[in-house]
Amino acid sequence: MILSQRYNLYISSCHENGGIYHCNLNRNGEIEICDKLSLPKVMYTVIKNNSLYAILRSPFSENNDSGIVRIDLCENGSMRTVGEIHSTKGEVGCHLYADNDDLYAVNYISGSVIKLPDTLVIHKGKSVNITRQNAPHTHYINVSPNGKYIYVTDLGTDKIYTYDKNLNCINTTSASLGAGPRHLAFSDDGRYAFCVNELSSTVAMYKISDDKLILVDEKSTLFGGNPESTEAAVRCKGKFVYASNRGDDSVVELSFDEKGLKQEKRYDCGGKSPRDFDIIEDLIICTNELSDNVSVINKNGEILSELKNIANPLCVSYQHTMTLK
């Protein structure tokens, strides 16, 4: 496998002495650490306009609120200038979306959604799993493919919420009872949304019709694997959907067309409890939370390289650097 470009990777470590590791992924699929920005308990990162935005789990001494900080990225990918930390006004902020000057986030424990600085919506309700769904647990936020709406998944209420950009609720979509919707991914043409359901270890495929999500199909991601697994992340590349299974310690590939989903392939994640991953060209970059390592896997299932001793790696973000001749 030869990459067409080099990539800067940013691996978040959710540890008191953790932070964000800037890494280089070279043309042979080898990964190496370039530098580290020390920050406490980084939950999630996203890149927007040459800035890296990071959620910190509990950066304030006076309360348990999470916070968002903006970090400038240099031309060589290094990080500089940590700005002011802005409160998410809730506990365990776990996902964010940056839209030009607007920042949105969700707080898992508080079951809330915020458009910074202070437009806050608190969800209500619960679902059938008395252990995991006794209260709202917002888990993901992003813009719709057409740019009009904001999607929020709530694992606790088994719903996907559709908001306008001022967080007025436009619509809700019910997941299967007890499924626990966690994250979304979208097809390249913007016609379909794929929801990874944490508690049922399934992927649900929805057709997007303006502000509505219409269920097309739902398939298991376990491929006969560990029934005690829970799902974590989802990505869509071309005509394939990928999802990670904690417990089964796998990343799986499903194909899709207008009729639905089909199970295709299972990849060993190269560690324990794959919290996040992404697909870069034909490589899978996987953060394995409980084994403290990051693995680079090709489509033959081979582990090309690995970073060890990164405590509790939760998230990977990336950007390319330059085209190789």
C-beta neighbour count of 122 within 10 angstroms: 14
Kindly state the tokens that stand for 260: 């639905």
pLDDT tens-digit profile, the chain (325 residues): 668 889 999 999 999 999 999 999 998 899 999 999 999 999 999 999 899 999 999 999 999 999 999 999 998 999 998 889 999 999 999 999 999 889 999 999 999 999 999 999 999 999 999 999 999 999 999 999 999 999 999 999 999 999 999 999 999 999 999 999 999 999 999 999 999 999 999 999 999 999 999 999 999 999 887 888 998 999 999 999 999 999 999 999 999 999 999 999 999 999 999 999 999 999 999 999 999 999 999 999 999 999 999 999 999 999 987 443 3
Q: What is the pTM of this model?
A: 0.96
Torsion of CA 233, 110, 318, 287, to 10 degrees: -50
Q: How far apart are CA 285 and CA 263, in angstroms?
A: 20
Give, in degrees to the nearest 5, the angle at Cα 72 between 284 and 87: 90
- CA 143, distance to chain mean position in Å, is 14
> How high is the pLDDT of residue 323?
41
> How high is the pLDDT of residue 101?
85
Task: Compute CA distances 307 → 9, 22, 30, 31, 320, whole Å.
Answer: 12, 12, 10, 7, 19
Give, in degrees to the nearest 5, the angle at Cα 38 between 32 and 39: 125
> How high is the pLDDT of residue 227?
83
> How high is the pLDDT of residue 1?
61
Q: How far apart are CA 108 and CA 106, in angstroms?
A: 6
Q: How far apart are CA 223 and CA 229, in angstroms?
A: 11
Residue closest to 235 by CA, chosen among 271, 188, 268: 188
Q: Where are the domains of the chain?
A: 5-323
> How high is the pLDDT of residue 325?
34
What CATH number labels 5-323?
Answer: 2.130.10.10
> How high is the pLDDT of residue 4?
81
> How high is the pLDDT of residue 324?
37
Q: How far apart are CA 69 and CA 58, in angstroms?
A: 12
> How high is the pLDDT of residue 83?
87
At position 250, the amino acid (one-letter code) is S
